[in-house]
Structure 1
Amino acid sequence: MRYWLFKSEPDVFGIDHLAQRPDQTEPWDGVRNYQARNFLRDEVSVGDKVFFYHSSCKTVGIAGIAEVVKAGYPDATQFDPESDYYDPKATPDKPRWFSVDVKYVSKFARVLPLGMIKDCPQITELGLVKKGHRLSVMPVTESEWHILNELAGRQL
């Protein structure tokens, strides 16, 4: 099992949206960065745990946890001309973009804010805290996973 951080804008798709789905499961689609795509396609696996991160909002930070329930497969939005994520260069034979399915696990009592994450002396290598690192999908070490969960629990 591996650990990840997936970013999303909560006004587009947040942890509450995932929790409200009938089976609390949804494709993580619309990723249009090649490095993030490669993670989804090649490395993210069923059973992996995911920090659900809210970005571009009043309180940016980790909002909760999801779990990967379906490994990488072609992102259907790339083939839909009506989608904001349509890619005319993608074909079913040669898809360019990939999705995974995630399932809601839990929501933190409060968002673990980015400032608190950055202030944590044990969290220095996570892409989230590095200048210029803007990936929407990034790996998290097991140690970072446990430290961030502990930080979130201390906010109660």
Structure 2
Amino acid sequence: MTQTQPRSRTFTWSDPSINAASLGRRSGLELLTSMIAGELPPPPVMHLIDMSRMTAEEGRVVVEMEVQEFHYNPLGSVHGGVLSTLLDTAAGCSVHSTLPAGVGYTSLDLNVKFLRPATVRSGVLRCEGNVLQRGRRTALAEAKVLDSAGRLIAHATSTCLLFDLEPPAV
């Protein structure tokens, strides 16, 4: 039976300037664990694609997302941009988890390999990011997306640029 009624989705998010005000004042791991504990709101992108859970320790971050139809591309599988967002989040946040207060990062590149499609039958996707090497100005991280059966869906490597943050305005 084909569902013919329109589907809709509504979501809300918190003001991103709340987290921005903490940049430079906390280490990356402190910022991430504050978001996980609910002391700071998650970034809007987590609500946009419905990432449901995050764990963090130094050099390692895991994010999860249950596949929904609104993640689909025209072929009926999760859009590569959604998978790339998961991979970029896990890889970038794993780098962030190693940074002291006053140091920021940005992704320089994200090299993604898509290995199999993900659909609602894939269940919860688990994306794990790990730092492979961190220097003074760049860091290399990898991330992988696994479906609920433990099959590898996608893999990525990311290079991040590290930089000093501007001191917060008083």
TM normalised by structure 1 equals 0.26
- From the two aligned structures, give the one with the greater helix fraction: 1
Structure of greater Rg: 2
Q: Which has the higher contact order (CA 8 A, sep 6+)?
A: 1
TM normalised by structure 2 equals 0.24
